[in-house]
C-alpha cells in the first residue's frame, strides 16, 4: 500500500529531524491501517514520538481547531509564504492524482478550510508535474525549518531527481540539473 509506505517515510523523517513536529493522521483505516499495523512498533512506539491517528475524518479530529487548518494542495491559488506555528497543515493522502484532479482543493472547499500550495514555482522550474508525494511534502516542511525558513534549500534537499529541476535565480532559470540522492 503506497499511502502506508509514505506515512512510514514521514514518521522516519520526523524521527530523524532536529526539529520534529506532531503528526496526526485522520481517517486511518482499511488496507492502509492494516499495512501499518504490521510494522514493528506501530502504534505504541509511534505514539510516544508525537504521532497520533484516528479512523475519524479530519474535521471530527479538529473540530475546535477548524480555523487553524490549512489544506496543502498544488491546485490552490494561495502560495504558502511561511509556516505559521499556530496553523495545522494538512497533507492529503490521495495517491492517484491523475484520476482525481482537484480532489484536495474540492474537499477543502467543501469543509470550508483554507488552502495553500508550496512556493515551488517561485524557486524552481520543474519539467514534470509539481505534484509531490505525501512524504516529499512533509519532508519539505521539515527541511524548511531546518534550513532557517528557506523554501528553495528545503525543496532542493528533498525533490527527487526525476522531477528534472532547474533553480530560478532572480526570475531566471539557472542551467544544470540539481543532484539529489532522494528518488523515492
Q: What is the CA radius of gyration of the chain?
A: 16
Sign of CA dihedral 69, 73, 78, 84: positive
Among 96, 175, 179, 183, the active-site one is: 96
Coil, helix or strand for 149? coil
Cell numbers given for 117: 500550495
Q: What are phi and psi of 149, to 5 degrees?
A: 60, 40
Strands 124-126 and 165-169: antiparallel
Give the span between the Cα atoms of 151 and 134, in whole angstroms: 17
Contact assessment for residue 126 and residue 135, using Cβ atoms and an 8 Å cutoff: no
Give the span between the Cα atoms of 90 and 70, in whole angstroms: 6
85 carries an active-site annotation: no
Burial class, 35, CB count within 10 angstroms (exposed 0-12 / middle 13-18 / buried 19+): middle
Residues 6+ apart with CB under 8 A from 146: 17, 18, 19, 154
Looking at the annotation, which residues are catalytic?
Answer: 96
Amino acid at each position: 500500500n503506497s499511502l502506508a509506505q509514505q506515512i512510514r517515510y514521514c514518521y522516519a523523517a520526523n524521527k530523524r529531524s532536529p526539529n520534529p513536529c506532531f503528526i496526526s493522521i485522520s481517517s486511518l483505516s482499511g488496507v492502509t491501517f492494516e499495512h501499518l499495523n504490521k510494522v514493528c512498533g506501530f502504534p505504541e512506539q509511534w505514539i510516544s514520538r508525537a504521532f497520533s491517528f484516528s479512523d475519524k475524518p479530519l474535521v471530527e479530529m479538529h473540530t475546535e481547531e477548524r480555523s487553524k487548518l490549512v489544506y496543502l494542495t498544488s491546485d490552490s491559488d494561495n502560495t504558502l509564504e511561511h509556516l505559521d506555528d499556530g496553523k495545522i497543515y494538512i497533507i492529503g493522502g490521495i495517491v492517484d492524482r491523475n484520476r482525481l484532479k482537484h480532489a484536495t482543493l474540492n474537499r477543502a472547499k467543501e469543509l470550508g478550510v483554507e488552502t495553500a500550495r508550496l512556493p515551488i514555482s517561485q524557486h524552481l522550474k520543474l519539467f514534470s508535474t509539481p505534484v509531490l508525494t505525501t512524504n516529499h511534502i512533509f519532508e519539505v516542511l521539515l527541511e524548511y525549518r531546518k534550513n532557517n525558513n528557506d523554501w528553495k534549500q528545503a525543496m532542493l534537499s528533498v525533490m527527487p531527481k526525476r522531477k528534472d529541476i532547474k533553480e530560478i535565480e532572480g526570475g531566471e532559470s539557472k542551467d544544470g540539473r540539481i543532484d539529489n540522492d532522494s528518488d523515492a
